[in-house]
Amino acid sequence: MKPLFRAGIAGACLALAAGCSGDRAAPAANEPERAAAADAVAANPLLAATWDTPYGAVPFDRIATEHFGPAFDEGMRAHLAEIAAITANPEPASFDNTILALERSGRLLERAFAVFGNLASANSTDAIRALQREYSPKLAAHQSAIRLDPALFARVEAVHAARATLPADRARVVERTYVQFVRAGARLDEAGRQRVAAIDQRLAELSTRFSQNLLADTEAFTLVLSTEEELAGLPESLRQSAAETARQRGLEGQYVITLQRPSVEPFLTYSSNRALREKAWRAWILRGDNGNEFDNKALIAEIVALRAERSRLLGYDTFADFMLDDSMAGTPAAAIDLMRRVWEPALARAKEERAALTALAKAEGAGHPIEAWDWRYYAEKVRKREFDLAEGDIKPYLQLERLIEGMFHVGNRLFGLSFHELSGIPVPHPSIRVWEVKNADGGLVGLFYGDWFARQGKQGGAWMSSFQRQHKLDGGALPHVINVMNISQPPAGQPALISFDDAITLFHEFGHGLHGLLSDQTYPSISGTAVSRDFVEFPAQFMEHYMTQPYVLKRFALHVETGEPMPDALIERLLASRTFNQGFATVEFLASAFVDMAFHQLSPEEAANLDVAAFERDTLASIGLIDEIVMRHRSPHFSHVFAGGYPAAYYSYMWSEVLDADGFAAFLEAGDIFDPTLAARLRANVYAAGNSRPPMEAYVAFRGREPDVRALLVNRGLADDS
């Protein structure tokens, strides 16, 4: 339902490095060693004070894999020296000499990690994966050495105690800094701090292994098609993209379906070869669960147990209690209450949908019950029958290039932004494009990178991240953000046609990009997307609504051959079908959210000797999941939770959906989807605000009141619009 989002680099760095081994200064080097070290620094672009590229963009054309290890080592050394200077300061702790000094520290390491993190996710190689395995525990140890330093925390605590005397923006930075230290374990005794540091280091290792296992298991499977019987039912656009995938893999003249969602989901939707549908479906749901060297179940068991133990050390009953204590929801009970309010009507709707699919299959003479690998295939047939609409009717109008123009147009109408494509900016892959972003007054906002096509070495899903975060300290920094997707590459010279779901994802990730680009904060720790997990999806999901507006469809959904806009009648049928199959979509999402929450509500004692497969199965049975639907993300490939920033937080997509549905309703009520007054409030209080105030305060400042969950139910067709 919702794509994968990855946090801005500060959050990502903390996720990987959540946890420093108490490095000690090396023995003094002799003169030749110092000269050699100086030469190495001079030759490493990651260690340059500034980059002489246009806009100070990352010089990807000069960066080699071997530069990262030395950059990480030097970055950690420099960071620890900066921290030592803070703790050695004889003056009483103040905002300037402690909190502001922390805001300025670690920039060399953060910059190197910003580059590496993107390559590791989107351009992975054996050498990069080896560096991940080596440095994820080192970076975790580095972070622990800082966050668990008693002398440093004493200074932070002193400033926190006097925060009432500070201006509001400084007080907020102090508050968030203090919370982060406490949640890292800074208030524990020495034994507790040592154990938390060890846990964080081990968790960093495990999450890296989980991610790499998933990528390896995903890339190990390909479904090669050669005959018309194997291609039966597949539309021409899918055949072309499968042929291009085959060509890239040296299988000219054949067709390849991969386990990337934009490849396998259309295959499951259109293939009339039921045996091949089952084969592809089983490979898809069993990623990370094949009993081979890439099996993730043992990693999950250890991750869950360590998270539970860490939370107990910090005074929480469970990891879910720990995570949600610093969220909009506040408690697991509040998140579960929302999920259950949606689950019951969604499950009832899914059962109605199952009955409709079964009836159609029977009418067509199918001699088998509906199975999970049949659902998408028959759902597409039912949609065609009920709405006179098939994906093949829509896709010729959904050209990626035109839709990129459409999302930039929305950014212009809402916020006055203009996007000018640049040439000559170094990029990590030739298919990546870069735009200069300016405000209505001509002032430079930042750089926007688009990396939309699937390739080997790229993690599945879609996300936004940053090469440079916005802030105003010491001359400031403009944001450089990137949107990443996994759209199937079209044959050379042909336009990329995408599904409507991919079009929604395109606008979703653009919303995250705008959240980074429009940030207007002095302090880097509270800028951009550095907000709670159940608020960060709001700016992205809000932007999805524009892809369903007739205004946008009429201007940018242009037929690939004729250039004609999508007809009014087709738009009407498309919008009428938006709530079709929402029982299925909601149930598969919530099944994953319930399992995530169940894992993380285990106590340390309950998490011991965890049988992951049995626990997942029992949890799904307890909520009454029907056999024909599986979790959107089964546990062994649930990277949001076990290799990303969403543990005990997958619910947050739905929590944020309450906000985005209610928030967009304000524009509909105003009668103008670009209402300038609302847009100005949205920009000031959400997109530009970072974490400068609690998220509910930010939402109310935009909307004028707290959100109403009913808008979500209506949007999903689970309640009447009355």
Distance CA 713, CA 593 (A): 17
- Asked if residue 599 lies in contact with residue 365, where contact means CB atoms within 8 angstroms, the answer is no
- Contacts made by residues 61-68, CB under 8 angstroms, sequence distance 24+: 61/426, 62/426, 63/115, 65/125, 65/127, 65/128, 65/131, 68/112, 68/115, 68/116, 68/131, 68/135
Active site residue 190: no
Identity (one letter) of the amino acid at 330? Answer: G
The 3-state DSSP class for residue 631 equals coil
The DSSP line for 356-394 is HHHHHHHHTT--S---GGGHHHHHHHHHHHHHS--HHHH
Distance CA 645, CA 626 (A): 29
Beta bridge partners of 438: 418, 444
**Residue for token pair 């429009």:** 518
Distance CA 383, CA 366 (A): 18
Distance CA 310, CA 328 (A): 22
- Asked if residue 345 lies in contact with residue 718, where contact means CB atoms within 8 angstroms, the answer is yes
Token output for 596: 């995530």
The active-site residue, picked from 110, 509, 537, 616, is 509
Nearest partner of 62 among 74, 50, 46, 77, judged by Cα? 46
Say which residues have a Cβ less than 8 Å from residue 397's Cβ, sequence separation at least 6: 553, 557, 558, 559, 560, 565, 566, 570
Distance CA 304, CA 590 (A): 20
Distance CA 55, CA 260 (A): 34
The DSSP line for 532-601 is -HHHHHHHHHHHHGGGG-HHHHHHH-B-TTT-PBPPHHHHHHHHHTTTTTHHHHHHHHHHHHHHHHHHTT
- Asked if residue 695 lies in contact with residue 537, where contact means CB atoms within 8 angstroms, the answer is no
**Residue for token pair 């030592």:** 84
Burial of 458 from C-beta contacts in 10 A (0-12 / 13-18 / 19+): buried
For helices 68-87 and 150-161, the axis angle rounded to 10 degrees is 60
Q: What share of the chain is helix, strand, coil (3-state, %, to 5)?
A: 60, 5, 35
- Asked if residue 394 lies in contact with residue 237, where contact means CB atoms within 8 angstroms, the answer is no
Nearest partner of 201 among 128, 139, 132, 147, judged by Cα? 139
The 3-state DSSP class for residue 418 equals strand
Token output for 104: 């300025």
Phi, psi of 225, rounded to the nearest 5 degrees: -115, 140
Nearest partner of 86 among 104, 113, 112, 108, judged by Cα? 104
Identity (one letter) of the amino acid at 390? Answer: A
Identity (one letter) of the amino acid at 170? Answer: R
Question: Which active-site residues does the annotation give?
Answer: 509
